[in-house]
Chains A and B, each alone.
Chain A
Amino acid sequence: MNKYSVFYIEDDEDDMLIFEDALLSIPEYNEQSVKLYICENGYNFLKFIEKDEAENKIVFLDINMPAKSGFDYLRELRTDQNLKNLPVVTYSTSYDRNFINKSRELGANYYAIKPSKFGDLTKLISKAIRIDFDRETAPPNDFIFNLLVQ
């Protein structure tokens, strides 16, 4: 049984590909311990998470998506009894203050800016699965996940 499940909700195929590549490159990775679910939409995600039995779970949630945005999913997640404590990192290209603030308000654990370098992305994912979300809550300034990685 895998120890860690990473859920990546994303509509962009390029990003999916890169994310997968990056996850496969992190030092912690081996097939037994980490499992990646790439979800094209919320419906897929719910299906996957229902069946997943890993001890630790983390969601990377893209914000800009057609039909339903990341914020919409986040709001739903946080009102769902079973999922409201699920660690969620909102994940977007944008460094727009409004996005960051809104993510925090809606209950994301962190906000991550999509890196432009492969190495940065691997570091980001690596860090994400090492964090104990139950114990570590983001201090106000470090809500930006990227800052934890540098």
Chain B
Amino acid sequence: MKFKDIVNRDIVNLENCEDEAIHIPGLIQPQGFLLSINNKSKIVNVCSENIGSFLGIDYKSILGQEIDKFFKFNILGHLNELNQGSPGQKITFSEECFGSSFAFTIHESGDNIVFEGEKSLVGPDKEAGLYNSSKKLLSYIEDTNNLKDLCNSVAIAIKDITDYDRVMIYKFDKEYNGEVYAESKENHLEPFLGLHYPHTDIPRQARELYTKNLLRIIGDVKYQPVKLYTYAESKLETLNLSLSVLRSVSPIHLQYLENMGVGATLTVSLIHKGKLWGLIACHHYSPKYLSQEVRNSVKLHGHFITSQIDVRILNEQYEVSGQVNKHVDSLVSHDLAFDRSSIKKMFQHDSIYRLSNSDGVAALIGGDFYFRGLVPERHIVERYSEVLKENSDYPHMVAISDMPRIYNQKSEDFTMFPGALFHVLDSENYIIWFRVPTVQTITWAGDPKKSIEKDKNGLSPRKSFESYVQNVKDTSKPWLIPEINAAQKFKVFLQNLVRSIITNEDKERQRILSEHLKAVNTELDNISWISTHDLQEPLRKIRMMASVLLENKEKYNVSEILVNRIGRMAKSAERMQTLVKNILQYNQTNTALEKFEEINSYNLMLEVQEEIKDNLLDHEATLHIDKKLPKIYGIPFLLRQCLLNVINNSLKFKNNKRDVVIEIFNDLEDEKSDLYSVIALKDNGIGFDKEHNEKIFKIFGRLHSVSEYEGTGIGLAFCKKIMLKHNGLIRAEGIKDVGATIRLYFPKTK
């Protein structure tokens, strides 16, 4: 029979350790032996080279043989138990063989069953120890409040049980950067508590193994790995040791441990909701092995921690929640006036940023910039708001802890404050809480400068820290739910306060405005007076004098040229007079306070038609009045004036190439016809350019020169005013050379 080892000889170094196939090294640690059998044939297909030193038989004599030939105990019974259990399960048992007591661990690996045997190590009073430690565990539930305290207690307990020099509990963040969360150690050792490690310290595939194989032990960092052998006919190339206890670990990892001066380790995975939450890492500064029982006890402690995570996190959140809410309460309990001084007052308390455990807060409210604590400069705060507003979902808030990573391609402004908790108050106002980078807030238990750095070329905690800093650069501590909630709570309060302030300010503004308006109205009345009398008077006289001369040409010897000039003069004075008269009318619309009546607009239209029939005849104009004109509410004399003005406009701007036809109809097609009764007056005159749709309603907004078309430019402005008085509106639509359509909109309800 031919034999060969299955050692994986790929070279591993720091550059490629991310890809190292650590689950199939083909090597084990020397503190035990390993053999594997084909699950069907029960023939041994892998055996460690060192089996002789434990059992006194050569691996060559076992390979290729059925396993029960070698062991006296009922090996098949254990196999049955394994096969009946759930996949991935491990079974441990102790059996006497070849004169010694061994602790066996068996598990499935592909088609194979892997047997690992270690000499049983029994502590002097293990039973009592385990009992005591279990009892202690229960007491921790009562004695500790938060997760950290609990982890601390557990670390102390594990140190007690195992006698490792240092017991640490690591906790990973969501990117698997690690932090030493709790620690118990020999006094002379330097503390690692609070040290941070980058996720690269534990490569991905190692993490995967941690989730499968919950306990790993390295008895002696300087161990000589033992090769695994198979026989040629087995066709076996590799043996997956993912679940193996004795699996030889990555040389990179051993180097790392050696750099720290560590002699032996025990690692227990802390799995929470299927993810690697943390590790219990025990370090000893000389070789150290543990009995199965003690290992199991450590595992139990691990389970205990993970079972408590949810509860403790809730507890912690509750604690945080209590803290931050205290800040919110202290802010909102102030007696605040509804003016801007209140906002200023609030920004004088540190609570305003401590309520979300942030480092500072800034807000833009009503054009004023408020801040407290550490915040970026105003223009940078505004950049935050611009960027975050775009990306905020309902209800307009964003909690982000890595601004620079996400948005720095746009600008470099965000590195100082990677954490931002952004709340929109309304369309213009907002508040942002800021956090500085995590690196600045890391607490070091010891002096980081004294941290171990034995090998300049290898890994060490010190180097790890630098690397960690790189990893967490541009991030801040993540925003916790209670912090976000507290901010939310405060935001709602602030929002209401701001609204009240704005309402108050509006009221005040309105008061000033209405006073102003009163003054203006009084002034306007005076102007009306002036326009009726003082302005009319001289104009009338000019015309009168002119007419005296024109009507008595012979008597006063007035020449033809004078007649012409005086005629023009009189005409100008007349125009001015009309203008003044119209202005007066326009202003009187304001003061008309008549009550609205129900009006049949068809009848009203007929009345208007009757009133101007001579004028229509002169212009050879026809009105087509739709019988279905709507019922409207309004002041008849004003509406008559409005309709007259619109029709007069059509007559004035008629197209000389054709007779005037004005269609007057109930426009049910109009987009606003759901809310308004719409009376449309459509003519076939000269029309106007679209761009003037608005302009023609401006007072004195004439589109044509006086010589082209007479008019004071008040007509349509007057109409607009009348429609406003009716809570309606007027719109014009023109097509040059085709005609104009004026639409009058009356609200359907009174």
Contact = CB atoms under 8 A, between A and B. Distances in A.
Contact of B551 (A15, A114, A118): A118
A93 B543 CA distance: 13
Name, among B541, B543, B573, B581, the residue most crowded by chain A CB atoms within 10 Å (CB to CB).
B541
A96 interface: yes
Contacts of A114: 540
Given A14-B541, A18-B544, A119 B551 contact: yes
Interface residues of B, number: 19
Contacts of B712: none
Given A18-B548, A118-B547, A94 B536 contact: yes
Interface string A17-52: 010010001000000000000000000000000000
A96 B552 CA distance: 31
Contacts of B581: 95
The size bracket of the interface on A is: 10 to 19
B547 to A, nearest CB: 4
Interface string A96-127: 10000000000000000011111101000000
B413 interface: no
Interface in A58-87: 64
Contact of B544 (A64, A95, A96, A115): A115
A18 B551 CA distance: 13
Nearest to A98: B532
B533 A93 contact: yes
Nearest to A21: B548
B547 A93 contact: no
Contacts of A116: 539-540, 543-544, 547, 573-574, 577
Contact of A117 (B532, B536, B537, B543): B543
Interface in B555-596: 573-574, 577, 581
Contacts of A21: 548
A96 B532 contact: yes
A119 B547 contact: yes
Interface in B526-545: 532-533, 536-537, 539-541, 543-545
Contacts of B574: 116
A121 B533 CA distance: 19
A118 B577 contact: no
A29 to B, nearest CB: 15
Contacts of A12: 537
A118 B548 contact: yes
Contacts of A15: 541
A117 B544 contact: yes
Contacts of A93: 532-533, 536-537, 540
B551 to A, nearest CB: 5
B537 A118 contact: no
Name, among B544, B550, B577, B581, the residue most crowded by chain A CB atoms within 10 Å (CB to CB).
B544
B171 to A, nearest CB: 89
A114 B533 CA distance: 11
Nearest to A121: B544
B532 A118 contact: no
A91 B539 CA distance: 17
A94 B533 contact: yes
Contacts of B551: 117-119
Contacts of B540: 93, 114-116
A15 B548 CA distance: 12
B532 A94 contact: yes
Contacts of B532: 93-96
Given A93-B540, A116-B540, A116-B543, A64 B533 contact: yes
A119 B543 CA distance: 11
Contacts of A18: 541, 544-545, 548
Contacts of A95: 532, 581
B465 to A, nearest CB: 92
5 contacts: A116-B574, A117-B547, A118-B550, A119-B547, A121-B544
Interface of A: 12, 14-15, 18, 21, 25, 64, 93-96, 114-119, 121
Interface of B: 532-533, 536-537, 539-541, 543-545, 547-548, 550-552, 573-574, 577, 581
Given A117-B551, A119-B547, 11 more contacts: A18-B544, A21-B548, A64-B533, A93-B537, A115-B544, A116-B573, A116-B577, A117-B544, A117-B547, A118-B544, A118-B547
